[in-house]
Amino acid sequence: MDDDAEIIAEFLVESHENLDQLDRDLVELEREPGSRERLSSIFRTIHTIKGTSGFLALNRLEQLTHVGETLLSRLRDGEVVMTPPIAEGLLSMVDTVRALLDGIERTGRDTDPAIAVDPVVAVLEALLAADPVAEEPVVPPPAPEPAPEPASEPALEREPEPVPGPEPEEPGERRTVVDSSVRVDVDLLDDLVDLVGELVLTRNQLLQRSLGSADAELVRASQRLDLVASELQESIMKTRMQPIGQIWSKLPRVVRDLSHQLGREVELMMEGHETELDRSLLEAVKDPLTHLVRNSLDHGIEPPDVRRAAGKEPKGTLSLRAYHESGQVVVEIADDGKGIDPATIGAVAVDRGVVTRDQLARMEARDVLGLIFRPGFSTAAAVSNISGRGVGMDVVRTNIERIGGSVDVASEPGRGTTTRVRIPLTLAIIPALVVGEGGERYAIPQANLVELVRIEGDDLSRQVEDLAGAPVLRLRGRLLPLVSLAETLGGSSSGDEALTVVVLQSDDVRFGLCVSEVHDTQEIVVKPIGRQLKALSMYAGATIMGDGRVALILDVAGIAATVGVGATQQEPADRAAGGADDRTALLVLEVADGRRAALPLAAVARLEEFGRDRVERSGTAEVVQYRDGILPLVRLAAAIGLPDTSDQGDQISVVVHESGDATGAVGIVIDRVLDVVEVVVDASEVGRRTGVTGSAVVQDRVTDLVDLDAVVRRSGVPA
């Protein structure tokens, strides 16, 4: 159904309901002519029908209701008193409006010639022109009625030609748009959802009991209950789903008013307004989305003269896009404004005491952007009625996370900002993976689940490594941070010979959660956790399992924040710069007092740390005993012409490199590993020298791009 058809259908349902009430009000008004409350109610109803019919280009309906509205206006203002002729005229108008609505439902237009509108309009106009105290009543024509069936008559010499018409319908065959819908109280829907949730819990318990039963009838009945409960749950959940366009409908006015107030020229583009999510979530995200739109206008899109000076079109673009992804609704608010400069954010954060200079120096660009969500943070130079008070973005994130969602900002200075909000489809019943740890069961929302990985035997030592003191898993060429669920919960890892890893994704953060057991996937009913556990960010709620025991639902974003797992994917600006095929995975290092270098991750076999006392010499070369062999060492800083500072501390960090034609491996000694990123490498000739192919900006820092093979050749180590 297209947009116009949906609007007409809603108009018909609402108008028919209002007309039924209008009949009752007019009859009561005839008995109590002085009731201003009823007059105002009747006037509002006709006014609404008139306005919508004009919008939909239903001209005959608009003409009829316009005259009726004028008469009602004079009655409301006391210029005319209610008389039987006026009551008859208004009731005749109501009947004609109803007939026109029926015609609109059949044909989509109000042009049915069988419905006489002009005589009714003439009667209403005569009532308007008549003396209010005239004794001679103006009798309106009767309301239009369906044509009677022709009586049986003798056959004529010449039969008339048949006139084609609609096929006769059996009683009850045609259902009108009014009959196809019913208004239900929202509280009743909420009660139904709660009852379905309890039914799902009971179903899970029966299914678990029937699994080991030898009673074939019980098994069949439980399977039938499972099917019916699933279908009932799906139907009930659909009754609460509403298009996100309902909360977008007010945004064009917000953008229009605010752009005029700020002196901006803005074009608003909206895509995906039909995307549906739960009604309760719709209410929860209305205010945060409105604030993000206002923020894009105030802080993002520049005035026309500034945009011209920057080589942009004077009119900025603000786009809203909603779509489904991985069982969630994603809403993107993007502008082509000035973007967010991490340097500006950092300076303001230090000035306002949000972070210290030392903390800022250790932060990556992505973390600096995240400071805008801190309470009390604002970049506005002065407080206005729009911004500058330091409240807003922190409330946005709090409200979104309260409903199990997340919000993330990506920006490129001079190009624009994109805020991405992820929202669960519903909070009531969700699919989840049930895992076990320490004798307890935990549920992980399936929306965050990427894959399951089982590592055993020699693969453990080959794929699991230590990166800057933290375990990582080498999975298909990428390093994935590992988090032990047992240690996160305050226990200790079991140290088994096999490792079960649940790969999870939250925003741009992907990590592996090591668990003891994996049970199965279930549809679980989300229950709020008690106030005693509210402060624990690792839990998103609780559920009751099939055996009646309570299992806590893990909050993936909360676990990532608790253990300090950062983003492992490429930077947003790099994502925008090129396609997936152009990206290169780099291992970013620190060498020589804060100087940065990057190695192709494909050239890195392993990451190791050795005690300094294990370093020995063989001739002029430094070596260590490694895996029943000898590993020659090359100091990276010295090899690329920088002062070597890797002798500090009791440990040395080593990148093990194996070239394609090598008979052995070489250890590249570095200061420390900083990160693994995927970027579109835009190399510059600046800094090109032996062992360095050039330089590039990686994570907003100038970084030397190292040619490992050239470094090894220069060192003289056999490779």
Give domain limits for the chain. 3-129, 186-240, 243-424, 429-563, 572-715
Q: Please write the tens of the pLDDT for every residue from 490-519.
A: 877 766 677 888 998 876 678 889 998 888
Given a cut of 70, whether residue 411 has pLDDT beyond it is yes
Compare 548 and 552 and report the one with higher pLDDT: 552
Element (H, E) at 696: strand 692-698
Q: What is the mean pLDDT of residues 522-547?
A: 75
C-beta separation of 122 from 130 below 8 A: no
The three-class DSSP label of residue 546 is coil
Architecture of the CATH domain 429-563: Roll (2.30)
Q: Please write the tens of the pLDDT for every residue from 644-693.
A: 776 667 788 888 887 655 456 888 888 888 877 777 787 888 888 888 88
- Residue 672's pLDDT is 81
Sheet holding 509-515, edge to edge: 449-456, 498-506, 509-515, 478-484, 470-475, 464-467
Our CA angle for 192, 195, 196, nearest 5°, is: 85
137 CB contacts (<8 Å, ≥6 apart)? 83, 84, 85
Residue 464 CA neighbour count, 13 Å, CB half? 20
What's the rounded Cα separation, in Å, for the pair 427 and 270? 26
Given a cut of 80, whether residue 374 has pLDDT beyond it is no
Q: How far is CA 243 from CA 11, 233, 238, 276, 322, in A?
A: 17, 19, 11, 4, 10
- Residue 272's pLDDT is 85
Given a cut of 50, whether residue 146 has pLDDT beyond it is no
**Cross-strand partners of 420:** 332, 408
What's the rounded Cα separation, in Å, for the pair 521 and 527? 18
User: Could you tell me which of 290, 323, 534 has the C-alpha nearest to residue 423?
Assistant: 323
- Residue 718's pLDDT is 61
Tell me the pLDDT band of 147, cut-offs 50, 70 and 90.
very low
- Residue 93's pLDDT is 87
Given a cut of 60, whether residue 83 has pLDDT beyond it is yes
* Other Cβ atoms closer than 10 A to 36: 10
Q: Please write the tens of the pLDDT for every residue from 13-41.
A: 777 777 777 777 777 777 777 777 888 88
- Residue 442's pLDDT is 92
What's the rounded Cα separation, in Å, for the pair 204 and 31? 60
Structure tokens at 280: 């309760």
- Residue 477's pLDDT is 64
C-beta separation of 419 from 339 below 8 A: no
Regarding the domain delimited by 243-424, which CATH topology (the fold level of the hierarchy) does it fall under? Heat Shock Protein 90 (3.30.565)
Architecture of the CATH domain 572-715: Beta Barrel (2.40)
Given a cut of 50, whether residue 708 has pLDDT beyond it is yes
Can you point out the beta strands (E) in 557-665? 583-591, 595-600, 604-611, 616-618, 621-626, 629-635, 651-657
- Residue 396's pLDDT is 84
Backbone angles phi, psi at 212, to 5 degrees: -100, 15
570 CB contacts (<8 Å, ≥6 apart)? 583, 677, 678, 679, 680
Q: How far is CA 571 from CA 540, 580, 588, 609, in A?
A: 28, 12, 13, 28
Angle between helices 118-129 and 84-107 (to 10 degrees): 150
CATH superfamily of 3-129: HPT domain (1.20.120.160)
Q: How far is CA 168 from the centre of its chain?
A: 49
In the CATH hierarchy, which top-level class contains the domain 186-240? mainly alpha
Do the domains at 243-424 and 429-563 have one common CATH topology?
no
Tell me the pLDDT band of 178, cut-offs 50, 70 and 90.
low
DSSP state at residue 527: B
DSSP state at residue 507: T
Sheet holding 672-680, edge to edge: 672-680, 583-591, 595-600, 701-706, 692-698
What 3 state SS string does 162-188 have?
CCCCCCCCCCCCCCCCCCCCCCCCHHH
- Residue 2's pLDDT is 53
User: Could you tell me which of 429, 347, 316, 340 has the C-alpha nearest to residue 393?
Assistant: 340
Structure tokens at 350: 């230090």
**Cross-strand partners of 684:** 695
Can you point out the beta strands (E) in 221-315? 241-243, 266-271, 276-278
